[in-house]
Structure 1
Amino acid sequence: MDRMLRWPESGAKLAELPLTSPLSGIVVPLEDVPDPVFSTRMMGDGLAIEPLSNRVLSPCDGVVTHRHRAGHAVTITAENGAEVLIHVGIDTVHLEGRGFTSHVQEGARVSAGDLLITFDVDEVARAVPSLLTLMLIANSDEYAISWRQSGAVDAGKSRLINVRRRDPKDAPLTRTSGEVAATRHATGAAVAEKQTEAVVAHHGGLHARPAALVQAAARRFGGEVTVTFGGRTVNARSVVALMGLGTKEGDRVTVHARGPSADTALAGVVAALQTADAKDGHKENGVPAPTPSRGRLPGGAIEGVCASPGLAVGQVVRLGSVDVEPPPALGNLDAEFERLANALATVRAEVAAAIRDAEARHARQEHDMFVAHQALLDDPEIVANTERAVGTGVSAGLAYRNAVNAECGVLSRLGNPLLAERITDLRDLERRVLLAMSGEALPEPELFEQSIIVADDLALSEFTRLDKSRIVGLCTAKGGATSHVAILARAIGVPGLVAMGPTLFSVAHGTEVVLDANAGRLETTPSANQLAAARKAMSDRAARHAEALAKVGLPAVTRDGHRIEVAANIATESDARESVQQGADGVGLLRTELLFVDREDPPTQGEQLAAYQAVINALDGRSAIIRTLDAGGDKPLPFLPFPKEDNPALGLRGIRSGFAEPELLDTQLRALLGVKPLSACKIMLPMVSDAEELLFVRKRLDTLASEMGLTERPSLGVMVEVPSAALLADQLARHADFLSLGTNDLTQYTLAMDRCHPGFAEKLDGLHPAVLRLIAKTVEGATRHGKWVGICGALASDLDALPILVGLGVTELSVSAGVVAEVKAKVRTLEYEACRRQTAILMNLTSAKEIRARARALWPDA
């Protein structure tokens, strides 16, 4: 370290003026300061220090030309005229002097190393977002910094910067002269500040996903944003700190924004707090929250929570929780900081690569999980706590482990299962960072040809590095159906159970087991008969699929000549290619939401047209029904900050959101009108409730087509998702080219049961007689005007329901691409007239359970 530097005698001509560090600590670039007034150099150029001491020393000889009344800031005019501002902490002006003691008066002459300010670290740190201390050249329009320090510095000893009179050749600061004059906020002038209250709308409070939404909003708008709850104030850029507030749904928090974009920042963060995420609620990703393990069942089976459905036979592969020890200390402070920075950069690059890979494969769920990991890795609380500890002499590895341990402790004490599951993610990142520090790699586990993974809990990185071709099942003692690995297992079709408890570890490595995730059981000592039955069931299923796939090119025609079109539900161009390979007759539903999610701004007309055209091209002459944006309700978008609604399922969603944002709807309609050939594009409107809404869009579509010089018009249809649309099907069919039933929403609205509520899962069945009667009513109304009716909801993929839907007169079924072949095959086994007769009888039964049982008896699988 440089020894303390002394000035030449007054009046000497100084080419460069060295300034010593006013504090001991870690140098932080100005760009990383969480306040745009500082980070954009509006206050002047300089550096920040993460303090490890509480005594502020003068960096040079000079005169105290300003001392703030709150005691947190002081300006020294150096011998060469440079105005050196020292500002302790972010937002410390609001403490009004609490925790600070000033040791100089304005006008006093000071020497380098003289004591200027002392402060109570604990009191100040608890009250402000950051203790980062700024040393800035307030008259940077006249003076330039020619050299800067980095790493650790000692107060009064280490040179921090060199400053000299600005040369005309120097690059200008990234600020205007007006900004220079307007930003004396640190020494008393006002700065844009806004504060308001918000109500947390997320079920379970600010757990991982909603905390990440708030963090993203805070980062997007810049400025300094804090959230206060229960007497605690935290940085809105810290996911872990936000989760650590322990909020619940309905809790009222205070949001404070400060900086040039305070209004915008405040609005964005409040919207993120008050708009429930689509995947937030009583369950995430369609699966109920975990329940406690119920242990071993009679006969040796172990119970668990179904995280991913399916049946599998395989050998147990026990994965122990790998504990990576922090590497030995290097004995050098700069080397430890470099080791930490390099390790974080390495893992950050790995996570970024995983995000890009997931995007390329359109693996949306995997992408979202790695984005959450990225947010945790960049969490300012963890990084700051680690750097603070390293600065005191703790090794980088041990400091990082201690920082993660502290945050895990906070989350575990909150008693929230959603937050507890994020501990696994933090531990995963800890292992990866420590491995990056040591340069070592985890040993690859040895897998059997048919492996059922058994673990206490499984980190995302552990799962993604396994050879998926050898994995047929997954079981964990801990975790829940909302854990990242459970979500990923569902996405790639691996059966899985979670929350099975410690009894799981009584199963030896290599044991052959039967995993029946649908029944929530792991048969640990299956008999020969059980193994044979499971293998036969799997073999029969595979054989049926192979046979159906071999004939997928044949049309789906009943034995008495009634044609059914079998299309696919898709979201991307790659989905479209797969649907063609699977034998789909076309696309019955293209969900356009994927183009709009996770964006600060909506996609342009050009972006949308390119995506839609790519799908049409991939279909090789087949047509696609493209649904306009279905946003709002349980599908919020960041750039559409709709107000919080007491009943979001009954609020601004579907076509109503298009009416609320007409320019957004017009842009999408223009993009759809640009598709070639236009005859291959059919437009479908979601959540239409009556003919007036349809006619409004029809008129708008005609106007836009005329403006674009088009004489051709695409087909325009509506989704029948609400009872009013089914009851008014005859009126809708008079003006629509086709009707398509969205049975998921139609069922929930008909039965008044939230389809996201796990308690209603068994009763929420589209074969309920009331739903079937509405389908019949829809077909009847469409038939009066010669229009066809399709189904694009989950009921279309239900093989039990298929004969009933055919019997009701539905002529198009849009299904998951993977079941196209089997749906086609089953249609070929049916007789249309027999289906009509039996369906008329089934609709008089009193429950979905009765109807389903009768359907299975009438039309058993081949």
Structure 2
Amino acid sequence: MHNNNNELTLGAPLSGPVMPLFNIDDAVFASGALGDGIAIDPLNDSLHAPCGGVIVQVARTLHALTLRADNGAELLLHLGLDTVALEGEGFTLLVGEGARVEAGQALLRFDLDQVARHSRSLVSPLVLTNGEHYELRARALESVKVGDPVLQIVPRQTPRAAATPESSDDEVRRHARVAHRGGLHARPAALLRQTAQRFDCSARLHLGDRSASLDSLIGIMGLGVEEQAQVEISCRGKDREAAIQALLQVLQTPLAEDHPHAAPPPPIASRPVEAGVLHGVCAAPGLVSGPLARLQGIQLPPDPGGHDAQEQRQALNSALEQVRSEIRATEQQALSRGDHAEQAIFNAHLALLEDPALLDTTHQAITHGSAATHAWSQAIDSQCQVLLELGNPLLAERTNDLRDLRQRVLRALLGEACHYELPQGAIVVAQELTPSDLLLISQKDVAGLCMAEGGATSHVAILARARGLPCLVALGPALLEIAPGQQLVLDADHGRLELTPDQARLEGVAIARWQHQLRRQRQQERGLSPAQTRDGRTIEVAANVASAAEARQAHLSGADGVGLLRTEFLFVDRRTAPDEREQLDAYQAVVDAMGDKPVIIRTIDVGGDKQLDYLPLPAEANPVLGLRGIRLAQARPQLLEQQLRALLQVNPAQRCRILLPMVSEVDELLQIRRCLERLAGELGISQLPELGVMIEVPSAALLAGQLAEHADFLSIGTNDLSQYTLAMDRDHAGLAGRVDALHPAILQLIASTCAGAARHQRWVGVCGALASDPLATPVLIGLGISELSVSPPQIGEIKERVRHLDAAECRRISASLLQLGSAASVREACRQHWPLD
């Protein structure tokens, strides 16, 4: 209406009764997640501009517009609730995006009867979406007509706002494409927030015309950023340049997750109908039987209200601190085990506990007299609804993390120690288990887990796989109708929960389970023995590790060495590079942990999509094809030289082997060998470690003979070799399932590598994921591989697999597999020739 010193009075966009946002029947708007404002139940049939400004966004379904006022305030005008489902039916847009409008101008006409009949409600919110810069003052009104003054917007005069420079010279902006599978869900969002907090600057994430402060995890997830979305990061403040490089790295570097390409649940209509059987999705494999035991969350009685706000805040703060301590302890245990997936899960939980949107909503309810228990519970429910409304299945799964925090904080507030009374060997059933539930359950002697909801990519699924607990998810509401104590058979491998197994079936499952456990025990017992084929060929089975703790575990499991030590763990998540002494101590600790076994240490493999805060590099259009691996060493030689100096001093030198990543031509190898010899001379060292080359790009595989002439060994990284050969990004959600290293073209490159190495009597190993695939073991042996580097838990399994093979037969059959036309046909042939137990 009028604009005085950037103060703005808004006119009513509709005629009808007025109500505060928190009174409307919509958790997203009522929680204040989208901003503060009012709502009007319209009696007229057109939406009008509350002030002058520019239309910056129109919803695809025409039910909502965003208006940027002349003073910079951004206003969301949302016609009705759940009207997105109308797909534009009943709406007529009168202005377009980018149009300049005046106060009172008609923006949208709608069919009042049609919208009322086909939506949940006509109640229409008016929301200030960038309230961090403005204060909203509402008038006490019961009903309005179009144009009546309803709200006043006043710029905030806070220290933070005053400290924010207005000059664009102080702001840096960069675009990035989000590489995280499923977009910015809890873990990548938490990592983004955590990274931003390390720097002295203010950072925001922008998606189109919407943005969120990187202080708020809920705000980040609330943008609904999908995989491969183009976003923008803006940073203001002293550390803006370093911060933006670090944040770009987070956005463009996907998280490594167990079973990242697990299949989604099949549509309900396509699931088989079978009497006495519920069908679900396998989250963790296994076959078990046992009695049903149900787990239920904490139920709160009605809250009478009128509580002392100060007492409730103190109770909440104490409970939050208790839960933080518990989570930090769990996180530390995961770190000590080298379980990075579990560590990331609980790091995200810590971030959620500190989320300003969540805490503000809770404290606001406490201020109005709610009990801390109910305020916390309702805030969680509201934020869950925000994520569910986004329509992203992966974000919907992440609401389970919020429910987990609901349970943990409620237990702390209520003083309830969690004592799960579970029968031995039970199959635990719940609507949806939380990560903390699973940690407590896994301490009991239970057989397996079943959930009515949940997904195969959930945090609970990751934890269940890590603990070897068979788990089915998405079984549906019928699961919760089964009586406690009923005997069930959980066949997670085939997605089946059998409700009425007979005695013969139960005995068969028990025998199969006993045989599996016996087989695993036998594999572990024989893990310390060499892996030798039936015709006498010895295959070294080494371990891929990232720390001395993992190396110790691998040594105890019978690893013949470390086939790959990833040194990036020393360089990431810090402000400066590790010095020579720190690196030497870390490498020496791994060598010491492996007793008398050799250790292959890969030089730093960052660059392109994996940038370091202290080594800013220009953004690249195709990061995986850019400055990474050995190419970074050529661009920043001081980084590699410092690492080589540390590696040269590892004792004894004959047990340390150096591996160079991303080599694509012989000259790169020769340059590093000359550098290594020069540094050894400067240090007065006469015995040099062996120097090997990673075969990760097709050119290296085709030049294997020339490389082997100057290298001491070759190690094939099948993950990168697969994506470069097939021209498919292994982190692309739509293509990742097709990036299979048993593709005949990749097998031909492996065969070429082994043949080239044999001409110079060099050995070849595999350190990529294919080495850990038992189905591929005979093929790799047949093609000439003499070392397999696998994940530590699989050492015994792969060694046992080798012992059942005949190397000559493997050579004969593998040669024929090179002529097949697809990875699927290779896998089927492998199953026929070398069936798995």
TM band (smaller chain): 0.7 to 0.9
CA shift in 2, pair 1:600/1:426, >3 Å: farther
How far residue 860 of structure 1 moved from its aligned partner, in angstroms, is 4.9
Among candidates 556, 573, 597, match of residue 581 of structure 1: 556
- Secondary structure of 1:470's match? coil
Partner of 1:680: 655
CA shift in 2, pair 1:292/1:686, >3 Å: farther
Distance 2:287 2:807 in 1: 33
Q: Is 2:132 the partner of 1:128?
A: yes
- Secondary structure of 2:764's match? strand
Among candidates 323, 335, 357, match of residue 381 of structure 1: 357
How far residue 269 of structure 1 moved from its aligned partner, in angstroms, is 4.2
Contact 1:310 1:494 in 2 (8 A): yes
Distance 1:125 1:407 in 2: 16
Offset from partner CA, 1:456-497 (integer Å, 9 cap, x none): 111111111224452332222222122111111122222222
Among candidates 469, 475, 479, match of residue 494 of structure 1: 469
How far residue 713 of structure 1 moved from its aligned partner, in angstroms, is 0.8
How far residue 795 of structure 1 moved from its aligned partner, in angstroms, is 2.8
Alignment of 1:501-512 (within 5 A): 501-512=476-487
For 2:224, the aligned partner's letter is G
For 2:178, the aligned partner's letter is A
% same residue: 46
- Secondary structure of 1:608's match? helix
Q: Is 2:184 the partner of 1:206?
A: yes
Partner of 1:732: 707
- Secondary structure of 1:625's match? strand
How far residue 453 of structure 1 moved from its aligned partner, in angstroms, is 2.3
CA shift in 2, pair 1:247/1:297, >3 Å: same
Distance 2:739 2:339 in 1: 28
- Secondary structure of 1:802's match? helix
Partner of 1:545: 520
Partner of 2:431: 456
How far residue 655 of structure 1 moved from its aligned partner, in angstroms, is 3.0
Among candidates 340, 349, 354, match of residue 364 of structure 1: 340
Distance 1:477 1:340 in 2: 31
Q: Is 2:356 the partner of 1:352?
A: no
Distance 1:852 1:568 in 2: 24
CA shift in 2, pair 1:392/1:656, >3 Å: same
Contact 2:297 2:407 in 1 (8 A): no
Distance 1:130 1:441 in 2: 44
Q: Is 2:173 the partner of 1:196?
A: yes
- Secondary structure of 1:801's match? helix
CA shift in 2, pair 1:336/1:259, >3 Å: same
- Secondary structure of 1:278's match? coil
- Secondary structure of 2:595's match? coil
For 2:745, the aligned partner's letter is A
Partner of 1:36: none
For 2:320, the aligned partner's letter is L
For 1:335, the aligned partner's letter is E
Among candidates 474, 477, 490, match of residue 449 of structure 2: 474
Partner of 1:609: 584
Distance 1:478 1:560 in 2: 50
Distance 2:460 2:164 in 1: 51
Alignment of 1:66-465 (within 5 A): 126-128=130-132, 193-194=170-171, 196=173, 198-203=175-180, 204-229=182-207, 231-249=209-227, 251=229, 255-269=233-247, 272-273=250-251, 275-279=252-256, 285-289=260-264, 292-293=267-268, 297-324=273-300, 331-442=307-418, 444-465=419-440
Partner of 1:37: none
Alignment of 1:721-800 (within 5 A): 721-757=696-732, 764-800=739-775
Q: Is 2:672 the partner of 1:668?
A: no
Offset from partner CA, 1:148-199 (integer Å, 9 cap, x none): xxxxxxxxxxxxxxxxxxxxxxxxxxxxxxxxxx999679998974153534
How far residue 346 of structure 1 moved from its aligned partner, in angstroms, is 1.9
- Secondary structure of 2:663's match? coil
How far residue 717 of structure 1 moved from its aligned partner, in angstroms, is 0.6
Contact 2:199 2:239 in 1 (8 A): yes
Gaps in structure 1 of 5+ consecutive residues: 1-51, 53-93, 100-121, 133-181
For 1:365, the aligned partner's letter is A
For 1:401, the aligned partner's letter is S
Aligned residues, how many? 695
Contact 2:293 2:484 in 1 (8 A): yes
Contact 2:178 2:231 in 1 (8 A): no
Contact 1:200 1:206 in 2 (8 A): no
- Secondary structure of 2:722's match? helix
What's the TM-score, normalizing by structure 2? 0.75
* Greater CA drift, 557-566 or 354-363: 557-566
CA shift in 2, pair 1:183/1:766, >3 Å: closer
Offset from partner CA, 1:384-406 (integer Å, 9 cap, x none): 23333433444333333333333
How far residue 691 of structure 1 moved from its aligned partner, in angstroms, is 1.5
CA shift in 2, pair 1:522/1:669, >3 Å: farther
Gaps in structure 2 of 5+ consecutive residues: 1-35, 37-69, 76-125, 137-158
Distance 1:363 1:310 in 2: 21
Distance 2:622 2:741 in 1: 22
For 1:338, the aligned partner's letter is Q
Distance 2:584 2:413 in 1: 46
- Secondary structure of 1:844's match? coil
How far residue 617 of structure 1 moved from its aligned partner, in angstroms, is 1.0
CA shift in 2, pair 1:529/1:797, >3 Å: farther
- Secondary structure of 1:789's match? strand
For 1:778, the aligned partner's letter is T
Distance 1:292 1:506 in 2: 22
Distance 2:705 2:165 in 1: 70
How far residue 774 of structure 1 moved from its aligned partner, in angstroms, is 1.8
Distance 2:584 2:256 in 1: 28
How far residue 728 of structure 1 moved from its aligned partner, in angstroms, is 0.8
Distance 1:210 1:184 in 2: 28
Q: Is 2:671 the partner of 1:696?
A: yes
Distance 2:234 2:816 in 1: 63
What's the TM-score, normalizing by structure 1? 0.73
CA RMSD, 1 decimal: 3.6
**Larger of the two Rg values belongs to structure:** 1
